[in-house]
């Protein structure tokens, strides 16, 4: 067999593929096509690497969010409890305000009634004081008139007796007697 192969080898022609001749434009397009293929391959690899980095970052972010939620859960529970307490306090305050309104309304009504009653009593006392004052003025006027008349009669009577004792002619005249009877406090000062 070996001999047959050697005999056949002499008839064998070795052929090598030779690329066809290209124009400069075709050469530029050929190189650009190769570079574009390499660039697309690089972009695909870069995209895969970026997606892997984003996945790793998303997982890390998820862990951080979970950790924060675990830390914030007690705070959220405390906030919910505080909100419930605030609602209870607000309800109590509203009840107290309602009670206060009712109390203020009752007190206001009572105070108004008391003020009106007090005003009426003050009016009655004022009218009574006015009547008493008018009566006292009347009594004082009557007392002053009576005191003046009594003083006039008392002191006028002594003067008449003196004049009669001295023998004056006027003592018996009726006009003199009426003038002496009308004398008041003026003549009291003239007495010796």
Most confident of 11-15, 166-170, 172-176, 177-181: 11-15
**pLDDT score at 149:** 80
Higher pLDDT: 3 or 88? It is: 88
Q: Per-residue pLDDT tens for 118-161?
A: 889 999 999 999 999 999 898 988 888 888 887 777 776 555 56
Tokens 């005249």, residue? 173
Q: Say what percent of the chain tops pLDDT 90.
A: 35
- Give the pair of three-digit tokens for residue 26: 């075709």
Residue 160 CA, distance from chain mean position: 91
Given a contact cutoff of 8 angstroms between Cβ atoms, the answer to whether 155 and 187 are in contact is yes
- State the pLDDT confidence band at 179, using cuts at 50, 70 and 90: very low
Judge whether residue 95 has pLDDT over 80: yes
**pLDDT score at 8:** 66
Q: Per-residue pLDDT tens for 24-47?
A: 898 899 899 999 999 999 999 999
**pLDDT score at 187:** 45
**pLDDT score at 177:** 43
Work out the number of other CB atoms within 10 angstroms of the CB of residue 152: 19
**pLDDT score at 171:** 46
Handedness of CA 132, 137, 138, 140 (dihedral sign): positive
**pLDDT score at 161:** 60
**pLDDT score at 163:** 63
Q: Per-residue pLDDT tens for 51-80?
A: 999 999 999 999 999 998 898 898 889 889
pTM of the model: 0.33
3-class SS letters over the chain: CHHHHHHHHHHCCCCCCCCCCCCHHHHHHHHHHHHHHHHHHHHHHHHHHHHHHHHHHHHHHHHHHHHHHHHHHHHHHHHHHHHHHHHHHHHHHHHHHHHHHHHHHHHHHHHHHHHHHHHHHHHHHHHHHHHHHHHHHHHHHHHHHHHHHHHHHHHHHHHHHHHHHHCCHHHHCHHHHHHHHCCCCHHHHHCC
């Amino acid at each position: 067999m070996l001999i047959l192969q050697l005999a056949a080898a002499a008839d064998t022609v070795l052929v090598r593929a030779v690329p066809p001749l290209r124009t400069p434009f075709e050469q530029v397009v050929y190189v650009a096509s190769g570079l574009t293929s390499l660039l697309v391959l690089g972009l695909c690899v870069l995209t895969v690497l970026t997606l892997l980095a984003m996945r790793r970052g998303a997982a890390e972010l998820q862990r951080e969010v979970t950790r924060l939620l675990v830390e914030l859960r007690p705070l959220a529970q405390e906030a919910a409890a505080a909100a419930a307490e605030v609602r209870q306090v607000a309800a109590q305050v509203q009840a107290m305000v309602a009670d206060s309104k009712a109390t203020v309304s009752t007190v206001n009504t009572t105070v108004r009634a008391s003020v009106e009653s007090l005003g009426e009593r003050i009016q009655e006392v004022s009218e009574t004081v006015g009547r008493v004052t008018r009566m006292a003025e009347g009594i004082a006027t009557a007392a002053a008139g009576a005191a003046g008349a009594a003083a006039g009669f008392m002191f006028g009577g002594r003067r008449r007796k003196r004049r009669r004792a001295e023998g004056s002619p006027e003592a018996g005249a009726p006009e003199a007697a009426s003038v002496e009877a009308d004398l008041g406090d003026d003549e009291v000062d003239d007495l010796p």
